[in-house]
């Protein structure tokens, strides 16, 4: 999505949980936001490579501790974001939508709309993503503790 937005698409750009002044900059394609989308698209591509390194044979050349640190950190970060530890997430959205935590007066309607989108789309997405990263790290850690299996090469006849 960030790559599409960096290239000019507005896919879900109006649903990003941002304060109104930042949303306006995002929708106006402010150079800072375009640059940040290119950086995030690049980070996603690096993430794909890291994810593949946890399951592909060529990933054995990457230090396991580094891969474990990256997958664990990303898993914790994504799950914390989905729960609401980082401001947005299930807890914060429910508190806002039930009125326990009042939205900012200057943009209450927008805050409720974004909380609904976050509750139904972004938070579940980050939870799933975080669980996938944590699972990849867990499997990698388990595989690292098991001695590698040596294959017997069959000779040609």
Q: Among 35-39, 71-75, 85-89, 144-148, which is the least confidently predicted range? A: 144-148
pLDDT band at 149 (very low <50, low <70, confident <90, very high): very low
Residue 27 has a pLDDT of 83
Quote the tokens at residue 144: 């690292």
- Please check whether residues 35 and 77 belong to one and the same domain: no
Residue 153 lies in a domain: no
- Please check whether residues 96 and 139 belong to one and the same domain: yes
- Please check whether residues 24 and 72 belong to one and the same domain: no
Of 99, 118, 106, 119, which Cα lies nearest the Cα of 19?
106
81-120 pLDDT tens trace: 999 876 789 999 999 999 999 988 888 888 899 899 999 9
pLDDT above 90: residue 132: yes
What Rg, from alpha-carbon coordinates, does the chain have?
20
Residues in the chain: 157
Listed in sequence order, the DSSP H helices in 28-100 are: 31-53, 64-83, 90-98
Of 74, 77, 12, which Cα lies nearest the Cα of 49?
74
Which residues fall within 8 angstroms of residue 14, CB to CB, at 6 or more apart? 23, 27
Q: Note whether 116 and 97 are within 8 A (CB).
A: yes
- Please check whether residues 67 and 140 belong to one and the same domain: yes
CA distance 134 to 148: 22
- Report the Cα 77 to chain-centroid distance in Å: 8
pLDDT above 80: residue 148: no
Residue 152 has a pLDDT of 47
Structural domain of residue 44, as residue ranges?
A: 1-53
Q: Among 3-7, 18-22, 143-147, which is the least confidently predicted range? A: 143-147
- Please check whether residues 30 and 68 belong to one and the same domain: no
- Please check whether residues 10 and 75 belong to one and the same domain: no
């Amino acid at each position: 999505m960030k790559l599409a937005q960096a290239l000019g698409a507005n896919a879900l750009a109006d649903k990003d949980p941002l304060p109104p002044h930042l949303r306006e900059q995002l929708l106006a394609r402010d150079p800072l936001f375009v640059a940040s989308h290119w950086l995030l698209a690049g980070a996603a591509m690096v993430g794909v490579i890291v994810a593949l390194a946890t399951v592909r044979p060529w990933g054995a050349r990457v230090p396991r501790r580094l891969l474990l640190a990256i997958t664990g950190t990303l898993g914790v970060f994504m799950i914390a974001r989905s729960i609401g530890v980082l401001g947005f997430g299930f807890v914060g959205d429910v508190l806002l939508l039930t009125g326990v935590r009042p939205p900012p007066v200057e943009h209450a309607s927008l805050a409720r709309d974004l909380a609904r989108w976050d509750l139904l789309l972004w938070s579940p997405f980050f939870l799933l993503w975080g669980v996938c990263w944590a699972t990849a790290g867990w499997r990698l850690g388990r595989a690292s503790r098991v001695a590698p299996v040596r294959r017997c090469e069959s000779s040609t006849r």
